[in-house]
Structure 1
Amino acid sequence: SSDEEELLLLYAIAGSQQKRKRIWVHEINKKRENYGEYHRLCRELESHEDRFYLYFRMSRDSFEELYQLILPRIEKITTNWRKPISARERLGICLRYLASGDSYQTIGFSFRVGRTTVGIIVKEVCTEMWNVLQPTYMPKPTEETWKNSEIGYREIWNFPNCVGSIDGKHISIKCPPNSGSEFFCYKQFFSIVLLAIVDPFYKFIMVDIGSYGRHSDSGIFENSLFYNEYIKGKSLLPPKALPGTTELVPHVLIGDEGFGLQTYLMRPFPKTAVLNDERKRKFNKRLCRARRVVENAFGILTQKWRIFLRPIESDVHTTVHVVKAACCLHNFIKMKQSTTIVNDIETPHDIHGLTSTRPTNRRSTTAALEVREKFVNYFNQQNTIHNIFYIPFSFNSIIQKRIFSHQFYELFCHIAILIDNDGTKAIATMNRNTGGLDWDVL
């Protein structure tokens, strides 16, 4: 009858509107301990140091030390309802996400965990890595920090009174909801900005992360906590005379055209200004050579943690935690492995994934111009011997040791090496065509 048909139709509609029962763990993921990447491949990698390094971007000893540091913060309690993912596996998932740049979905399939679970693990582990590592490996700068940095820039890069190299890079992200044009940068993609100050040994002294992509380097810097405490608060080192001179000169940061010239920040002369001026060209050469430190630090960061080579898919808050963790890991690994062989994945050929910020044409003050002129005069008064010669050299050699009366300082081999022998100083750069070094004796 028609009544029975209507009743059957109502039952069908009601049944279709019932919510699907959620599955606590997918059938595939229940086999995680038998077939998951951590329980199969990662266990085998522990017997092969070189493969382990390529997979996790750190040595087994560094991984174990990091695990012991972070264990109390990321370990989950086993209950009668479920057995949690172990702290070691959670750390492995997070590091593999940072190292590979794969999506949450791809990492989830590999480790046999849910996509949402991967996102939760990445956020929690990155947050705790920053909390654990930052106080030791990126502490608040002190007077000793600035003094050691100045010594390095003076002796290695031949730029005295410099306490750090500063730069900002755009990190590509997916468009945040309801954000308008705040995160839309001049390169036509959505981004947040990583602003960093780097010491002469490629370690981050401080980072400022999360500013809107549409902002400039100068604007971000002048609104940072660093600026308020060290520039406004005048907490940098007091002025001192350049070597061999008597006139006091401020300690400065060095940056590119993205920053305005200030008494505390030196930038190069415009290209048009150095065409027929050898003095300014020599200043630019010295500044740009020292400023390569921050560029190469970013290059090492992106080559090691390939998460930066594609738009980061998480929300802005999680992305900030990811970037902070990667910067701390950079310092952690650099300090732990400073005497080990430099792997080819750490070689910053080009910086892919990070985009430079927009140059600024802000008018400089008279005081800032006078400070820069003092550096120009100093660099042009130095006697430079223009001898260039070749020494055979292995790209992956370990250099940080004494050979006869020479002391070699390794700076990732292909970038620069200082030799200080009885007053003789030389800067060396890697010649990629010959595999040797070109030495510029100063």
Structure 2
Amino acid sequence: MFAGAIAAKGGILRGCFGFIDGTARPISRPKHYQRQCFSGHKRHHCSKWQAVLLPNGMIGSLYGGHRGSMHDSTLLTSSKVLDALQQKFTTFVGPDGFCISGDSGYGRAELVKKPFSKVEVLNDRRKKALNKAMSRVREPVEWGFKEMRMYVNPINKLYRVAVILISCHHCLHHNQASQYFDLEPPSLEEYLVTFAE
């Protein structure tokens, strides 16, 4: 269902059912561990988060509250989200299995497909077309993070609660991603029962 919705919008990665991305939530300069919390890339102190967003606008996985200097690929490894996905989906691995789309911050992994580098697309029109097509359908990931920025204060526990509440709101009201991919979010009851498992 999700892979079909992404393909219908021009995503040409076979089996791609979601998008993974990291975000850095600004925090006040801490009294201790300033160096660990500082992101040289963002040029401020922050807390790093990773989310897997689904085309119906729901957040399939949220992991974070880690030091700002942590790289996205390190966050992916420590989250163990790929292990969880492999256990959930038996057809996840292989050329015809499912995958999630990530940005260039993620290393090469069989389950996370990232764009080809500028060097790789230099003389290869097919790779360039793939990058362009997947870039268009990756935009909903940024919509999800933008929405989280509007509603929350970047304190770790509040951030997690805010994500759950935003997801509950998405169950009751259409969101930008679910409208774009023409998918219904789960009912509130279906969503909340996932926490009982």
Per-residue deviation at 1:417? 6.4
Partner of 1:330: 166
User: Partner amino acid for 1:195?
Assistant: Q
Provide the C-alpha distance between the structure 1 equivalents of 2:182 and 2:88, rounded to a whole number of angstroms: 31
1:203 lines up with 2:39 in the alignment? no
Counterparts of residues 267-282 of structure 1 (less than 5 Å): 267-282=114-129
1:292 correspondence with 2:139:
yes
Deviations 1:10-32 (A, max 9, x none): xxxxxxxxxxxxxxxxxxxxxxx
Contact 1:196–1:208, Cα closer than 8 Å, also in 2 = yes
Q: Secondary structure of 2:24's partner? A: strand
SS in 1 for 2:136: helix
State the Cα distance separating 1:188 from its structure 2 match.
Answer: 2.3
Distance 1:190 1:283 in 2: 35
- Kindly provide the amino acid, as one letter, of the partner of residue 89 in structure 2: L
**How far 1:176 sits from its partner (Å)?**
2.5
Letter in 1 for 2:148: L
Give the Cα separation in 2 of the matches to 1:279 and 1:191: 38
Distance 1:173 1:417, change over 3 A: same
* Overall identity of the aligned pairs, in %: 22
Query: 2:8 aligned to 151, 155, 164, which one?
Result: 155
Q: Indicate which of 172, 185, 199 corresponds to 2:39.
A: 185
Q: Are the aligned partners of 1:185 and 1:214 in contact in 2 as well (CA < 8 Å)?
A: yes
Shift of 1:279: 0.8
**Residues 193, 212 of structure 1: 8 Å contact kept:** yes
1:224 aligned residue: 79
Aligned pair partner of 2:103 in 256, 259, 281 = 256
**Residue-by-residue CA offset, 1:64-114 (whole Å, 9 max, x unaligned):** xxxxxxxxxxxxxxxxxxxxxxxxxxxxxxxxxxxxxxxxxxxxxxxxxxx
Counterpart selection for 1:168 from 18, 22, 35: 22
Q: Deviations over 1:303-331 (max 9, x none)?
A: 4x1x45xxx5xxxxxx1111111211221
Q: CA deviation at 1:164?
A: 1.4
Corresponding residue SS for 1:210: strand
Provide the C-alpha distance between the structure 2 equivalents of 1:337 and 1:220, rounded to a whole number of angstroms: 31
Residue correspondences, number: 181
Using the alignment, how far apart are the partners of 1:274 and 1:157 within structure 2? 19
SS in 1 for 2:165: helix
1:165·1:290 contact (CA, 8 Å) conserved in 2?
no
How far apart are the structure 1 equivalents of 2:123 and 2:75?
34
The TM-score, its normalising length taken from structure 1, stands at 0.38
- Alignment check: 8 A CA contact 1:198 1:206 kept: yes
Task: Name the SS for the 2:36 alignment partner.
Answer: coil
Gaps of 5+ in 2: 184-197
User: Cα distance, 1:239 vs. partner?
Assistant: 5.1
Stretches of 4+ aligned residues off by more than 6 angstroms:
none
| Map of 2:192 onto structure 1 | none
Q: What is the CA-CA distance between 1:222 and the residue it aligns to?
A: 0.4
Q: How many angstroms does 1:216 deviate by?
A: 0.5
Unaligned residue ranges in structure 1 (runs of 5+): 1-147, 242-247, 313-318, 349-408, 419-442
Deviation, 1:258, is 0.5
Counterparts of 2:5 and 2:143, CA distance in 1: 16
CA contact (8 A) 2:49 2:62 kept: yes
Taking the aligned partners of 1:287 and 1:296, their CA distance within structure 2 comes to 15
The structure showing larger relative contact order (alpha-carbon pairs under 8 Å, at least 6 residues apart) is 2
**C-alpha separation in 2, matches of 1:202 and 1:194:** 17
Cα distance in 2 for partners of 1:292, 1:196 equals 14
Contact 2:93 2:110 in 1 (8 A): no
